[in-house]
């Protein structure tokens, strides 16, 4: 990574919208891609697929969600929109699988003989949870939050379902704004 690309978030000041592509959001979206379109080993994408949403390996799936489509050698697209998000997500996943699963990298974890798709999905969810536990919090109570819709959301359908919830599934603490009283937007705590 070039020094000019270093992203350092000020503690607890950057609001995170539902659209912000954090490493955790990229990993969860990659899991969704694998669930919907399938998982492969040994290459980024299913080489026989003629569709825009091919089955992918875990790194290929992260590339799909960050670049918006399949690209050759997704780690090499330094100047494309989405590269910083791709790099941050893969770097976090590399660290996670090496610390907790004894793999040398996300590629190695994906391609290990005997690996199955469910193990890959589980690791993506765990890695996303860990990233959010460390980096995203509710600005009111300071609790860590997860990018999962609240489990007890009972507002009328015209209200958008929040992208984030407290760890116990409740919406983020209420704040008053131009739209009235709404759940707070989470904030990034510490660097990426």
- What is the closest distance, in whole angstroms, from the C-beta atom of residue 182 to Zn ion in the complex? 13
> By three-state DSSP, how is residue 96 classified?
helix
Sequence-ordered list of residues with C-beta below 8 angstroms from that of 93, at least 6 positions apart, any chain: 23, 27, 58, 62, 106, 123, 124, 127
- What is the closest distance, in whole angstroms, from the C-beta atom of residue 92 to Zn ion in the complex? 24
- What is the closest distance, in whole angstroms, from the C-beta atom of residue 186 to Zn ion in the complex? 9
Q: What is the C-alpha to C-alpha distance for residues 6 and 1, in angstroms, rounded to an integer? A: 8
Phi, psi of 180 (to 5 degrees): 90, -150
Q: Give the footprint of Zn ion on this chain (CB under 5 A).
A: 138, 140-141, 173
Residue 154 burial (CB count, 10 A) = 7
Considering the complex, state which of residue 51 and residue 161 has its C-beta at the smaller distance from Zn ion.
161
- What is the closest distance, in whole angstroms, from the C-beta atom of residue 61 to Zn ion in the complex? 31
Positive or negative, the Cα torsion across 154, 159, 161, 162? negative
Contact between 46 and 117 under an 8 Å Cβ cutoff? The reply is: no
Considering the complex, state which of residue 12 and residue 75 has its C-beta at the smaller distance from Zn ion.
12
Strand partners, 15: 187
Considering the complex, state which of residue 18 and residue 99 has its C-beta at the smaller distance from Zn ion.
18
- What is the closest distance, in whole angstroms, from the C-beta atom of residue 101 to Zn ion in the complex? 32
E strand spans, 97-191:
136-137, 145-146, 165-166, 174-177, 180-183, 187-188
């Amino acid at each position: 990574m070039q020094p000019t690309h270093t992203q350092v978030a000020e503690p607890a000041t950057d609001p995170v919208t539902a659209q912000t592509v954090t490493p955790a959001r990229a990993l969860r979206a990659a899991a969704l891609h694998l669930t919907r379109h399938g998982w492969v080993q040994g290459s980024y994408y299913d080489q026989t697929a003629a569709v825009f949403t091919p089955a992918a390996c875990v790194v290929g799936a992260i590339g799909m969600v960050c670049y918006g489509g399949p690209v050759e050698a997704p780690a090499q697209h330094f100047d494309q929109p989405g590269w910083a998000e791709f790099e941050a997500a893969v770097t976090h996943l590399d660290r996670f699988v090496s610390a907790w699963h004894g793999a040398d990298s996300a590629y190695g974890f994906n391609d290990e003989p005997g690996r199955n798709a469910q193990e890959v999905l589980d690791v993506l969810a765990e890695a996303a949870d860990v990233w959010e536990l460390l980096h995203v919090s509710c600005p009111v109570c300071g609790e860590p939050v997860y990018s999962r819709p609240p489990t007890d959301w009972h507002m009328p359908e015209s209200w958008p379902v929040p992208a984030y919830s407290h760890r116990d599934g409740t919406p983020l603490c209420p704040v008053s704004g131009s739209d009235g009283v709404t759940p707070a937007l989470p904030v990034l705590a510490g660097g990426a």
